[in-house]
Amino acid sequence: MKKLKCAVIGTGYLGKFHAEKYASLPDCELVAVVDINEEAARSVAEKHGAKALSDYQSLLGQVDAVSIVVPTTLHHKVAKDFLNSGVHVLVEKPITVTVAEADELIAIAKEKKLILQVGHLERFNPAILGLDKTESKPVFIESHRLSPFNPRANDVSVVLDLMIHDIDIILALVDSEVERIDASGTSVLTQGTDIANARINFKNGCVANVTASRISMKTERKMRLFQPSAYVSVDFQNKVLMKYRTGEKEMFPGIPEIVSEESVFEASDALLEEIKHFVDCIHTGKNPLVSGEAGRRALETAIQITQLITQ
């Protein structure tokens, strides 16, 4: 199989890891890394025997696939340029700043038959991959994504930084149109929203209560799914999936017993799995697990929540 010529645009905290993963894959050749900070680009490039560039324009049409790991405000422009030049794109979340920008990228990728994948990394967590989607018909979902303050990701609100992970997963699990959203939040340490809660009501009757904070004293990434005769707990941080179901016996007269099943997954490299999936989609032409359309839905919902909080 011919090696894919790949590049990473942006060598910040996450970009350098993208470069590392491409360099490790036998069916990929990391051709270049790009950053306006030439020293940062050179530092990453030298580790992997790639070119260090300060302008991505020189790569248009020269590579097969790129990871775009630049500030969100630049996602649309950079992704559009690469898609128009026939290059497959993996763009970090959120897909773009606006829904209209996302629609344009999706249309270009469709027209040119290119893979457009969005970097919602939590979809490749083994705890969520271990969930049987065919058995999951939640009527109520509760999620908490809490973390201590980190100055690295404050160009967007906590909704677009952290909550959007759970929004994306919930939209995929429920597979129903959103009917109504109620939301609240506030800024504490930054000019943007640092803690937020949203109650998402779906047309099929499911309700999701979603909380995200980047000012917590602890780290927690959990989601709980409730449905008739079953309850499922997903611990993203510790990679544990707990399933509780009603059994055939009774624990009290007329009350069925509760049978539990625990699955503990070994530590895995979600970013490597995400990039391997991207490469596989390029080779096979299959639709990505997190397509441009999925990224758009998550963005649209996150924007609605943000507007409700800031209005």
Q: Which domain holds residue 39?
A: 4-114
Res 216 pLDDT > 90? yes
**Average pLDDT in the 167-195 region?**
94
How far apart are alpha carbons 297 and 47 in whole angstroms?
A: 37
State the CATH number of the domain containing residue 155: 3.30.360.10
Residue 278: inside a domain: no
305 and 221: one domain? yes
pLDDT for res 94: 95
| pLDDT for the residue numbered 134 | 61
Range 210-234 burial, b when 16+ CB lie within 10 A, else e: bbbbbbbeeebbbbbbebeebbbbb
Looking at residue 102, its pLDDT comes to 98
Rounded CA-CA distance 299/98 in Å is 8
282 inside domain: no
In contact, 203 and 181? CB cutoff 8 Å:
no
Does residue 43 register a pLDDT over 80? yes
**How many CA within 13 A on the CB side of residue 16?**
12
Domain stop point among 114, 145, 161: 114
d(CA 277, CA 165): 18
Is the domain of 212 the same as that of 237?
yes
pLDDT of residue 150: 84
Asked if residue 179 and residue 236 are part of one domain, the reply reads yes
CA distance 93 to 176: 22
Which of 57, 121, 119, 109 shows the shortest CA–CA distance to 84?
109
- How far is it between the farthest Cα atoms of the chain? 73
Q: How far apart are CA 213 and CA 194, in angstroms?
A: 6
Q: Is residue 66 within 8 Å of 88, Cβ to Cβ?
A: yes
Return all residues near 276 (Cβ < 8 A) that are at least 6 apart.
25
pLDDT for res 207? 98
Residue at which a domain ends, from 92, 114, 136: 114
Shared-domain flag, residues 82 and 212: no
What the block records as the tokens of 113 is 């038959």
Residues 40 and 127 in one domain: no
Examine the domain organization and report whether 78 and 54 are in the same domain: yes
Would 287 be classed as within a structural domain? Answer: no
Give 254-302 pLDDT, tens digit per residue: 888 889 899 999 988 999 999 999 999 999 999 999 999 999 999 999 9
Q: Last residue of some domain: 53, 81, 114?
A: 114
Q: Do 110 and 144 belong to one domain?
A: no
**Domain assignment of residue 284, yes or no:** no
Q: In terms of domains, do 86 and 140 share one?
A: no
Given a cut of 90, is residue 180 above it in pLDDT?
yes
Whole-angstrom Cα distance, residue 228 to residue 208?
16
99 and 137, same domain (yes or no)? no
In a domain, 275, yes or no: no
Other beta carbons within 10 Å of 133: 11
Q: Are residues 101 and 161 in the same domain?
A: no
Residues 103 and 133 in one domain: no
The CATH code of the domain that includes 41 is 3.40.50.720
Instruction: Give me the sheet containing 88-92, strands edge to edge.
Output: 51-53, 28-34, 4-9, 65-68, 88-92, 116-119
**Mean of per-residue pLDDT scores for the chain:** 94
Q: In this structure, is residue 208 part of a structural domain?
A: yes
Q: Looking at the structure, do residues 103 and 149 belong to the same domain, yes or no?
A: no
Count: domains in the chain: 2
Length of the chain: 311
Residue 190 falls inside a structural domain: yes
Q: What is the DSSP letter of 2?
A: P
In a domain, 140, yes or no: yes
Q: How confident is the model at residue 153 (pLDDT cuts 50, 70, 90)?
A: low
